[in-house]
Amino acid sequence: MHFIKQNILTVVTFLPLFGALLMLLHSYFRGNNPEAMRRMALGFSLATFLASLPLIGWYADPTLIVKANWIGSLGVSYHLRVDGLSLWLVILTTLLVPLCVLASWHIDKHVREYMVFMLMLETGMVGVFLAMDMFLFYLFWEVMLVPMYFLIGVWGGERRIYAAIKFVIYTMIGSLLMLVAIIALYLLHGQSTGVYTFDIVQITENIARYDFLTYQQQMWMFAAFALAFMIKVPLFPLHTWLPDAHVEAPTAGSVILAGVLLKMGTYGLMRFNLPMFPEAAHRFAIPIMILAVIGIVYGALVAMVQPDLKKLVAYSSVSHLGFVVLGTFAFTETGMQGALYQMLNHGISTGALFLLVGVIYERRHTRLISEFGGLSTPMPVYATIFMIVTLSSIGLPLLNGFVGEFLILVGTFTSAHPRILAVIATSGVVLSAVYMLWMTQRVLFGRVTNEHNKSLADVTLREKLTLVPLVVLIIFMGVYPSFFLKRSAGQLQQIHRLVNERAVAGMVR
């Protein structure tokens, strides 16, 4: 058991990559069999999910930490660690990938390459959440871009090349800013302590202990990290890459984008910006929260007028991720808990919405809302699932979305920041109900006016297998949130203490 614990983080991180390499070897020696590629990708992604489940019970065990010298001369280490901040994001990632593989069963162009990229992407995403060395973190952050670029650029829609290039350019600009900040932080830490290291835990502790960053240094490094992460979120007005990427990506690509990639931005803000640069975090808090509130309202209003289902869901992500940023910079435990919970909620609910859009797109090859209507008649099971996911997305009590939004709004309202921010943000909940319910009314209810919709087949067994687990989680997270909240509470309390106590100490200084 001790050996398993010692290596579980490495297994969860690199098992998908091992599967991708094995698939390439299999196709080289036994020929390129698309069905075999699908089955192998599903098998390795499911195995990764099962391997990640013990982390729910073990995450607080110090023997789980993996740390070894990698490039000793530069202070680079192979350091993996799971805590209350990263635990559920890792589980979310390993859950969504096998569902995405199932949802991609219809892919018939370059199947081997598609499935290999999916598994490579999983390793990059899990690595970002588990890496506790800045060099390793940056490596996973960049590696993750490559498979997503190809998933959009090869298997996407008509404007796929434009969307893929735009996605990479935006992310690379942020990545270069982050790289400069990482190198600066590495050098400043080494000059002040004599220890040149990229270790995130050690640097965070030493910033608090030695207080070696001046106020201006904090401001510049906060800005560099924050821009990189806010592009990934994406926070208004840095969001323009997102609708194009979502609309042109294949269904699984949209699910991964919404479910995991956007969370890397909000995760980075909590992992780096708040505990490392608390004075700058307080200085920038109000402007960032204002942008978050603008994003909440703007995303909802733009979603309301979208004729394309996928673009509507994409703009809803801009609105919902605004809530996450708002809760993060409220600097209250309640707000931070809500922000982390909303990350999970959004990954599950919006991921399910993209899967549902993909189901009818496969049948009709259109996403225009005007092409549908009355789908509850030929597709009653589909309509039932769609309504549950929609109600979750608008924050109906006893479903997961309500818990996250409630905690964020309470945490923001009770913070030291102007209460008007929470009041305006509340309008986003109302607007969300407007555009989501109006969309479902036009798609699901009324008479079937389009002849093509009268004979549509209801969800298949494979489609149920992708959707039902998410519906179960939506209900479970709404009814029993403490199962998730109590496992993240300790780490978020620590971040809350660091960002508030050190900010006060810096202001006194």
The string of DSSP codes covering 401-439 is HHHHHHHHHHHHHTSSS-THHHHHHHHHHHHHHHHHHHH
Structure confidence at residue 503 (pLDDT): 58
Domain limits for position 432: 280-509
493: Cβ contacts below 8 Å, ≥ 6 apart: 333
| Domain membership flag for residue 429 | yes
Task: Name the amino acid, one letter, at 48.
Answer: T
pLDDT of residue 3: 66
Q: What is the 3-state secondary structure (H, E, C) of 339-385?
A: HHHHHHHHHHHHHHHHHHHHHHHHHHCCCEHHHCCCCCCCCHHHHHH
In a domain, 34, yes or no: no
Determine which helix (DSSP H) or strand (DSSP E) holds 187, and give its type and residue range.
helix 160-193
Q: Can you give the pLDDT at residue 508? A: 45
Can you state the percent helix, strand and coil of the chain, rounding each to 5?
80, 5, 20
101 falls within a domain:
no
Distance of alpha carbon 208 from alpha carbon 275, whole angstroms: 9
* Residue 170 CA, distance from chain mean position: 17
H-helix or E-strand containing 66? strand 66-71
Measure the CA–CA gap between 275 and 203, rounded to whole angstroms: 10
Is 472 a member of any domain?
Answer: yes
Q: How many domains does the chain have?
A: 1
* Length of the chain as a residue count: 509
What's the pLDDT at 226? 92
The whole-number mean pLDDT for each consecutive block of 10 residues of the chain, a chain of 509 residues, reads 76 94 88 87 94 87 83 89 91 94 89 92 94 93 90 86 89 90 92 88 86 86 92 86 86 89 91 90 92 93 90 90 92 92 92 92 87 87 93 90 91 86 90 91 86 85 92 94 90 86 57
In a domain, 95, yes or no: no
